[in-house]
Amino acid sequence: MIGIGVDLVDVDRIRAAIARTPGLATRLFTEGERAYALAATDPAERFAVRFAAKEAVMKALGVGLGAIDWHDVEVVRADSGAPSLRLTGRAAALADAAGVTAWKLTLTHTRTLAEAVAVAL
């Protein structure tokens, strides 16, 4: 194991931020992530857990905000629904430099909280 990161996000905080700043969802999330979230009755839960995943990846890589672009980390879903990560750009370069060859990701959320755990292997 190279690194582990965990992040917990308040769903209402994400909901309010996106309502207050409409372009925020475009800035933080890829087209695929936005499409998946917006298909839900309450997209805030899906946005929040994806935000948590991006933060968890940064923690697993040992970097902070600004080290990667938000779109460099994308949560994708297998046909089974299992989440995984797609890294590009600076995030992929940092992962390669650290020797990361695989990721494990788990996500969970309720109406109020969203949590992600990312493990860099």
pLDDT of residue 65: 87
Quick: pLDDT tens for 6-63.
999 999 999 999 999 989 999 999 999 999 999 999 999 999 999 999 999 999 999 9
Percent of the chain with pLDDT over 70: 100
Strands 103-109 and 113-120, sheet pairing: antiparallel
pLDDT of residue 104: 98
- For 22, the domain range is 3-120
pLDDT of residue 24: 97
Return the CATH number at 49. Answer: 3.90.470.20
- Write out the two tokens for 103: 């990721």
Query: Which residues 6+ apart lie within 8 Å of 46 measured at CB?
Result: 33, 36, 37, 40, 109
- C-alpha 64/C-alpha 107 separation (Å) is 20
Return the bridge partners of 5, or none.
118
Number of domains in the chain: 1
Q: What is the pTM of this model?
A: 0.96
